[in-house]
A and B are shown apart, each in its own frame.
Chain A
């Protein structure tokens, strides 16, 4: 018998009913809820006179709409306020634990889950948000779902699902100074494309992944969805176990030891067979910058903007042309010469403490360039913010001319007041550079925290090692 992949093991452990021609029924251990994709699910439950099956399996936190400025007076925008208050009301009515907007633990749901130990290896985790893939870094099967499925999980603790195929992406080699896991994942997406992982669960492996910190692994898995895969996963190792120890919702006492024993099994067997595999050496990887309106449109900071005439096919040629027109960029332009208007450091991709430390290492003793209209640093959670402040990172940013904000999704998707104005260009540590993503007419370049900070102090993209 051939060995099993990590994904096979996670799938098998959660199978409630085998597929009989259609989808299988799988058990969901944890559902994370936020204000944008849950109100209609709660309304559906109420209409059908149903109740959540397992209250303790859910955790709610408002993140998408919350202001990142002073919150003591509540939310100005009445529509956003209604949505956040609706989450509060639904959680209170049904009895679901919620970290509300003023809770010190509040933050982006995908930062809060691992930080609290709510995310654990071996779990199935869902959330009405595609970046749920983040949690796979801890050896969990985690993926985004739509609102109908949010309601389905609330009511049944299960999902109808079809097993995905197995893909392994092996990242070998040691990253050079100043490179980050964000550069690795952008490189992967550039190579396999935004639909390269469609229909697969991606396991990230290889020495560069083994050597990566837990937070860096979360950045990798976070953007599995930008490669088309609903879930990205990474095998459990000692770092995973150490990360989980002592977190508020982690198992404790005997249960922790019992859990660790089970978690150790959460690796792909040596003889497991993958349906697809990509091997990438990251030794010579250079800082990545997206230049278009899809995350696959990416190059290194030393490159020039590509010419659509060189695109591999007609569809891509049209896509590149349209993207360059939207981005107001000319083929042949040095990426390092592109000036930006705004800088955004944060999001579920790069809003954790290591990301802030990395950005602060560039900001320290420097000033935000005069052409930058705004440089935002938005911690991923209240606890990340506090930790950063304890380390003095807030002072470094503020002294350099960055704005230090309250936690939330912020300018990653610009549902709150943090956004680009039409035509503005932004160096962002978030995950999507789609048209209008950060604001109507806004132009987004996805980069690592180090590159975002470098762009802030140089006023344009620049090699962080040569500032």
Chain B
């Protein structure tokens, strides 16, 4: 996983509650056996006027010009701004892969669905929950004064808008460390191999029916 570095980018506002993973990446694109190549189909049903098919070239598809991802300067944005319960629905990690492939490294919302929130950290994408009042203010900022950019400094746990407003956010120390260092979770867990084996040995005695394969 790539290290999460300090960067500045344009904020893409999608002023909706309950943006589900079916909207982020519709199911037909889940047929892929790869982990990348989903960026062109991010928000496919909202972004294009026609129905997208997996593997099709998106460069000539009719665009929904109203949709924020098709407008300058948002289409080059790297922050996504939404309201409550972002990423609800299906567990598909493809939703995070699509955001990441498009170039979005930070999602700012009033709240997140749990599975999506978890999936973000596995892919170097940072989900930031801010109080609803701040979220409202950021939407109003975009609405009234046009597109703006932000800087994310994960080390300091601070988002700074181009007009100098600073938003502090909370993050689990361990997850922060993993993002900053680009660490592989599996490698970390395997360091605890003795604990896992000890658990299995103890549990297989307590509950042998769960470990028919480990019975001697």
Chain A residues with CB under 8 Å of B114's CB are 198-199, 228, 230
Q: Which of B34, B51, B188, B210 contacts A123 (CB 8 A)?
A: B210
A235–B189 Cα gap in the complex (Å)? 31
- Say how far B50's CB is from chain A's closest CB, in angstroms: 9
- Asked if A55 is at the interface of the complex by the 8 Å CB criterion, the answer is yes
Residues of chain A contacted by B209 (CB below 8 angstroms): 120, 251, 255-256, 258-259
Instruction: Chain B residues near A160: list those with CB within 8 A.
Output: 185, 188-189
Q: How does the 8 Å CB contact mask read for B184-196 relative to A, with 1 for contact and 0 for none?
A: 0110111010011
> Smallest distance from the beta carbon of B154 to chain A beta carbons, Å?
15
Q: Can you list 27 A-B pairs with a CB-CB distance of less than 8 A?
A: A16-B192, A16-B195, A16-B199, A23-B175, A27-B203, A37-B91, A57-B213, A128-B93, A129-B91, A130-B90, A145-B115, A146-B91, A146-B92, A147-B35, A147-B94, A148-B123, A152-B186, A156-B190, A156-B196, A194-B18, A194-B85, A195-B111, A251-B209, A319-B16, A415-B27, A415-B30, A432-B90
Report the separation of the CA atoms of residues A195 and B18 in the bound assembly, to the nearest whole angstrom: 8
Which residues of A have CB within 8 Å of B123?
148
Give the A-binding residues of B (Cβ under 8 A). 15-18, 20, 22-23, 26-28, 30-35, 45, 51, 54-55, 83-85, 88-94, 96, 111-115, 118-119, 122-123, 172-175, 185-186, 188-190, 192, 195-196, 199-200, 203, 206-210, 212-214
CB <8 Å contact, B196 and A27:
yes
Does A373 make an interface contact (CB < 8 A)? Answer: no
CB atoms of B22 and A39 under 8 A apart: no
A105 beta carbon closer than 8 Å to chain B: no
Residues on A lying within 8 angstroms of B by beta carbon are 13, 16-17, 21-23, 25, 27, 29, 36-37, 39-40, 43-44, 48, 50, 53-57, 64-65, 77, 79-80, 82-83, 86, 120, 122-123, 128-130, 144-149, 151-152, 155-158, 160, 162, 194-195, 198-199, 228, 230, 251, 255-256, 258-259, 262, 294, 315-316, 318-319, 322, 413-415, 422, 432, 434-437, 440-441
- CB-nearest residue of chain B to A262: B207
Q: Are B28 and A415 in contact (CB under 8 A)?
A: yes
B88 touches A194 (CB 8 A): yes
Contacts of A318 in B (CB 8 A): 15-16
Contacting pair B93 A147 (CB below 8 A): yes
In contact, B113 and A434 (Cβ under 8 angstroms):
no
Q: Is the CB of B210 within 8 A of A146?
A: no
Cβ contacts under 8 Å, B115 to chain A: 130, 144-146, 230
* Contact B210 A440, beta carbon cutoff 8 Å: no
In the bound assembly, the distance between CA atoms of A157 and B204 in angstroms comes to: 14
